[in-house]
Structure 1
Amino acid sequence: MNIKELIHQYFHKLSKSQKKVASYVMDYPGKIALASAQEIGATIGVSETTVIRFCYSLELSGYAELQKIIREQLLSQQSSLASYQKAKLELEQEPQFFAKVMEQDRVNIAVTMNQIPEEGYETAINRLAKAEKVYILGLRSSFAAANWLSYTLGLVRADVQLIRPESEDVLQTLSRMDDKSVVIVISFHRYVKETIQIAKLAYTQQAFIIGITDSLLAPIHPYSQLMFPIYSTNKSPLDATAALFSLMNAIVAGLSVKEKDNFKLRQERYEALNSDFLFAEGD
């Protein structure tokens, strides 16, 4: 049963304090999914016992079952092509369709920006600056973003590698990882099992994992020391594209500033090469 339906069914039986818990569960299911009963109680201003008794009042076995139900629901609500198209068909009825789509992108970027902590971003930049080697992983729908990030980070610092299971021995790549390696894993619904397995193996190699995904409950969560959630209005990976690339651009920009001397030296060496055979001048 949907957790909101369950709360509505038993709400009249709840005590005043338990109703406070119920309201918090309805408003912030994502926080319930990640925090302990003690932490939730402290946030709301009730005891841990009240939180657990609230679960019993819903005829659940305890707080762990409440978390399990919420996690399953949050993951099942993730995006699909159908929800993407449905949202766009609704916008089609309004004037300036393209402007409405771009306005949604702006909102997605703004919300993503506000939910990423400054200290987490700074940690990512420092880790990328100090790493001996950086690996980028993203498969299927996440491959284009991973390819762009690998290329762009490679302009800023040396030793950046895009992991490509279809054309390399991934076990050989993993065997070279250690605690001086950073792996950026991009994973969106529907979550590719191979991405999760590679992230898990990189984690066992003590590499520092930065996860970029659509939910703090995504399957790469257990293997990520840092998680950057990307918001999208309609929970669609396609709608998340603008915010995803904006965050990646912020990462590249932060590293270029952090490593400005090395970046300048790399640019000078790059521009010193004769590239006439590669590029044509425009009018």
Structure 2
Amino acid sequence: MLFLESLKGQFTTLSKSQQKIAKYLLDQPQQFAIKSAGEIGKAVGVSETTVIRFCYSLQFNGFSDLQKTIRESLLLPQSSLDQYYSNKLELVSQPHFFSNVMEQDCINIRRTAEQLDEGDFQEAVNRLIQAKQIFITGLRSSYAAAHWLSFTMGVMRENVFLYKPDTDDLLLTLDRMNEQTVFLAISFHRYLKETVKMAELAKMRGATVIGITDSSVAPISRHADVILAISQPEKSTLDAMPSLFSLLNALVANVSIQNKEQFEKRKQQYETLNVDHLFCD
């Protein structure tokens, strides 16, 4: 928030009483946005009049004017990194920090499982089983998930390809797509135009497009035949990762179980290979 950054610069020019109010505002802007001037004064140990004078000293027309500015600032979208850090700050004062973070992940996974449309999930599984070839993409923060999915799905079946923007030619990749192709795109806030454009072009080539994202109305949905949306209370892509990997694992598990013949064929291929020189045990 620009206003709070400005307040930090003015902090030393304030009186001792006003510094108490300023510290409260800097530490707890959400509380300042909803409490009355009297409640804030009581919380920091000053009078309501001092709180109002504090507002005037910052060139506001009164308490309601300052509070309006704080509320508007809080409504401005934060970056994913800001939200990730803010969420963890709420847990740092509690015991067992690591287990609390993991419990948050469990809650998000359960929420995703409860809210995911089972029909859409099964449709995605069916399309993946029927596809002659599968292209997977995910850029920036989604790349690790796309890489994991392409590797794991590739263990289960043939003709699974990861689009790597640093080495793969986009036009040649698109040229390989047709009506028997599934193009699976992982796209989270902030949504990259390149991923959305690839989905559009893949659709034009006749491919089935599966979008995995954080909202049913995300930009990728305009070009997707199937959307699998991960429910997130915040727009932090980092916090969405545990739910995303759990969903991808469920996809791979369903594809392997429901396409047993192809899985058995793939397993036999692995068993015939002599890979003793590759592994320690």
Indicate whether the TM-score tops 0.5.
Answer: yes
Q: Is 1:225 aligned to residue 225 of structure 2? A: yes
**Equivalent position of 1:206 in the other structure:** 206
**Equivalent position of 2:55 in the other structure:** none
Mark the runs of 5 or more structure 2 residues left unpaired by the alignment.
Answer: 1-75
**Equivalent position of 1:257 in the other structure:** 257
**Equivalent position of 1:267 in the other structure:** 267
> Once the two structures are aligned, what percentage of the paired residues are identical?
48
Task: Tell me by how many angstroms 1:81 deviates.
Answer: 0.3
User: In structure 2, how many angstroms separate the alpha carbons of the residues matched to 1:269 and 1:263?
Assistant: 10
Q: Mark the CA change 1:79 to 1:228 in structure 2 (over 3 Å): closer, same or farther.
A: farther
Q: Report SS of the residue matched to 2:219.
A: coil
**Equivalent position of 2:239 in the other structure:** 239
Amino acid of the structure 2 residue aligned with 1:174: L
Root-mean-square deviation over aligned CA pairs = 1.4
Task: Tell me by how many angstroms 1:92 deviates.
Answer: 0.3
**Equivalent position of 1:126 in the other structure:** 126
Amino acid of the structure 1 residue aligned with 2:157: R
CA distances 1:60-109 after superposition (whole Å, capped 9, x unpaired): xxxxxxxxxxxxxxxx7575101110110110011111111111111111
**Equivalent position of 2:95 in the other structure:** 95
Query: Conserved in 1, the CA contact under 8 Å of 2:189 and 2:235?
Result: no
Query: Conserved in 1, the CA contact under 8 Å of 2:177 and 2:202?
Result: yes
Q: Is 1:110 aligned to residue 107 of structure 2? A: no
**Equivalent position of 2:280 in the other structure:** 280
User: In structure 2, how many angstroms separate the alpha carbons of the residues matched to 1:258 and 1:77?
Assistant: 42
Q: Mark the CA change 1:179 to 1:187 in structure 2 (over 3 Å): closer, same or farther.
A: same
**Equivalent position of 2:216 in the other structure:** 216
Query: Conserved in 2, the CA contact under 8 Å of 1:178 and 1:207?
Result: yes
Q: Mark the CA change 1:115 to 1:78 in structure 2 (over 3 Å): closer, same or farther.
A: farther
User: In structure 2, how many angstroms separate the alpha carbons of the residues matched to 1:119 and 1:154?
Assistant: 24
CA distances 1:21-45 after superposition (whole Å, capped 9, x unpaired): xxxxxxxxxxxxxxxxxxxxxxxxx
The list of structure 1 runs, each at least 4 consecutive aligned residues, that deviate by more than 4 angstroms after superposition, is 76-79
Mark the runs of 5 or more structure 1 residues left unpaired by the alignment.
Answer: 1-75
Q: Report SS of the residue matched to 2:278.
A: coil
Task: Tell me by how many angstroms 1:262 deviates.
Answer: 1.6
Task: Tell me by how many angstroms 1:231 deviates.
Answer: 2.1
User: In structure 2, how many angstroms separate the alpha carbons of the residues matched to 1:121 and 1:234?
Assistant: 23
Query: Conserved in 2, the CA contact under 8 Å of 1:211 and 1:227?
Result: yes
The 5 Å alignment of 1:49-68 reads none
Amino acid of the structure 2 residue aligned with 1:263: F
User: In structure 2, how many angstroms separate the alpha carbons of the residues matched to 1:208 and 1:265?
Assistant: 25
Task: Give TM-score scaled by structure 1 length.
Answer: 0.70
**Equivalent position of 2:193 in the other structure:** 193
Q: Which moved more, 1:262-271 or 1:77-86?
A: 77-86
For the pair shown, the structure with the greater C-alpha radius of gyration is 2
Q: Report SS of the residue matched to 2:182.
A: strand
Task: Tell me by how many angstroms 1:214 deviates.
Answer: 1.1
Q: Report SS of the residue matched to 1:220.
A: helix
User: In structure 1, how many angstroms separate the alpha carbons of the residues matched to 2:183 and 2:79?
Assistant: 25
User: In structure 1, how many angstroms separate the alpha carbons of the residues matched to 2:108 and 2:217?
Assistant: 19
- Highest RCO, 1 vs 2 (Cα 8 Å, sep ≥ 6): 1
Q: Mark the CA change 1:78 to 1:195 in structure 2 (over 3 Å): closer, same or farther.
A: farther
User: In structure 1, how many angstroms separate the alpha carbons of the residues matched to 2:140 and 2:120?
Assistant: 27
Q: Report SS of the residue matched to 1:240.
A: helix
Query: Conserved in 2, the CA contact under 8 Å of 1:233 and 1:239?
Result: no
CA distances 1:2-31 after superposition (whole Å, capped 9, x unpaired): xxxxxxxxxxxxxxxxxxxxxxxxxxxxxx
Q: Report SS of the residue matched to 2:274.
A: coil
